Amino acid sequence: MTGTFEIGAEDFLLDGKPHRVLAGALHYFRVHPSEWADRIRKARLMGLNTIETYVAWNAHEPVRGQWDATGVNDLGAFLDAVAAEGMHAIVRPGPYICAEWHNGGLPAWLTALPGVELRRKNSVYLAEVETYLRRVYEIVAPRQISLGGPVVLVQIENEYGAYGSDKAYLAELVRITRDAGITVPLTTVDQPEPQMLRDGSLPGLHLTGSFGSRASERLATLREHQPTGPLMCSEFWDGWFDWWGGVHHTTSASDAANELDALLAAGASVSIYMFHGGTNFGLTNGANHKGRYLPIVTSYDYGAPLDERGDPTEKYWAFRDVISRYAPVPAESIEARPPSPEVSVALEGLGDWLPAGLGSSVESAEPLSFDSLGHAGALMYYTAELGAAAGRHRLVVGEARDRAWIEIDGVPSARLDRIASEVAASVPGGEQLSILVEERGRVNYGQRLGEIKGLIGPVTVDDRGIGPWWNTPVDLGAVATWATSALAAPSSGRAAWRGTWSLPEATDLFLDTTTLGSGCAVVNGFLLGRYNRTGPQRTLYVPSGVVNAGENTLVIIELDEIEEPRVRFVGEANLGPTVE
């Protein structure tokens, strides 16, 4: 059934009648497809009428020209699931999304292109952006409300006023969007600071705000810059994200509910960021760098109303109560679920996993970056002739982004860590230097967006340059495949471990990583994400859609050292010590 959605003098108009948007953010690429319908239904039962999602370009096109809109990337199926629940949809395709997501959603191959200038009217950048957006709009355009679909709003860029002020760039995004058949109203979002609102907007685009507190004050600022039409906080921050080495951030349910009440009492529309955060599966976590590099953890629980497993929290019921004062809330109930099953799994050591993941090597005078080799993975293996006499030697690396394990003649010798700002190590003499570099997450916000990864700058031993270098990308997918059939071997330090267990039915699980060091975990071929002994996160979420009724296989790809050859699956998430 077709309909209309417009911006009126004071309100959004749905089929010509005043309408308040009550939306919640739910990123399809952070939720296993088997869970989409459940999460969307629970949004409706909280009283929401709309689902909002970003589109992550680098999830759809990790390799240039290889577009994927299947499985977890099936935006069309996700929007169809929203429609099936009788809800509307807001689509935010960026191309930049931030979202604490790897590289802010921009593909690493894009940010490495010669001559590219990000988020401005640059011919190299815009040529790729136009191709990307047209692919997205091929999915979105036929699902607009005017054609019987759920999509009612599309956002242009994302908090652009915090980054730049290139109006010609924004105008190009609008042109591409309209030329691709998008007819619904277009919006922008910025923090309600006058300069940001001015820089991030264009005439004809509806301005919305992003904030999580002081709602009345910030709506007043927004109204000064958007004098007509509905007020909307399209990112109502109800929680926060975590980083490795930090704590688990939570926010008060009552405080967040009071701010939501203030928004709705003012007549504003809202999109709750996040309604359900989900998980940074695989290697998709971003990083922040505001003077210090802070990689984001695997969980994106965010302190949201719906937790990582999809269970309602105290905040869910507090928000539902607030919404019920302003709009009808369904009377349907949500059944409480028992904790996830607890299982102990013995691990079998498989030996060093590195050889199984090594690809073709490239020779160079100096170490090459991940970006220059077009490597979209998280690991690169560098080797060079050291030729150092017996005794201790001073090894200096310009910068290791983001962590490096150093070996001399195959023997572990030292480690460099960007977080600790280490650039030098004392190493023994030997013939060959090997450095395994891990990219721990690309910066997703600010001027460091698109920074290169790998060994950066010269590498010297006792102030002497060394080379040539052999640069070898590591394929973790190949490692995981190898580990499912590899024979057992003595294991210590960097090693792969395998375990199997059986379940009577597929169910959500939580892998306890307390006894593990630093690395990645794979269940039945699905890369859950990273774990790290620094915490705060101590469990990895396993969605039921990747679990088998019957036998299951776990592969641990360890970079450091595990404490014992056994792991446990536990009943609930452990995201670490909390702070509000």
Catalytic residues: 159, 235
Provide the β-strand partners of residue 567: 345
Q: Is 437 helix (H, G, I), strand (E, B) or coil?
A: strand
Write b or e for each residue in 455-472: b if 16 or more Cβ atoms lie within 10 A of its Cβ, otherwise e.
bbeebbbeeeebeebbbb
Contacts of 208 (CB under 8 A, 6+ apart): 187, 188, 189, 222, 226, 232, 233, 234
DSSP 240: -
In this structure, what token pair is assigned to residue 160? 């652009």
CA distance 469 to 380: 12
Of the candidates 517, 467, 522, 474, which has an alpha carbon nearest to the alpha carbon of residue 498? 522
* Distance between CA atoms of residues 244 and 247, nearest Å: 8
Residue with tokens 């690169």: 380
Question: Comparing C-alpha atoms, which of 509, 514, 503 is closest to residue 549?
Answer: 503
**Phi, psi dihedrals of residue 558, rounded to the nearest 5°:** -95, 130
- Three-state DSSP at 570 gives strand
What one-character-per-residue DSSP string does 489-555 give? Answer: ----SSEEEEEEEEESS---EEEE-TT--EEEEEETTEEEEEEETT-S--EEEE-GGG--SEEEEEE
Residue 316 one-letter amino acid? Y
Length of the chain: 580
**Half-sphere exposure of residue 53, counting CA atoms within 13 Å on the CB side?**
29
| End-to-end Cα separation, the chain, in angstroms | 45
**Where are any strands of DSSP class E within 93-211?**
151-155, 186-190, 206-211
Question: What kind and span of H or E run contains 130?
Answer: helix 123-140
Closest by CA to 310, choosing from 99, 5, 43, is 43
Report the DSSP beta bridge partners of residue 531. 519
Amino acid in position 577: P
CA 296 vs CA 94, 253, 509, 535: distances in Å: 20, 23, 22, 11
Angle between helices 314-324 and 253-265 (to 10 degrees): 20
CB atoms within 10 A of CB 188: 23
C-alpha dihedral, 554 to 559 to 564 to 570, nearest 10°: -50
Separation of alpha carbons 253 and 273, rounded Å? 14
CA distance 447 to 435: 28
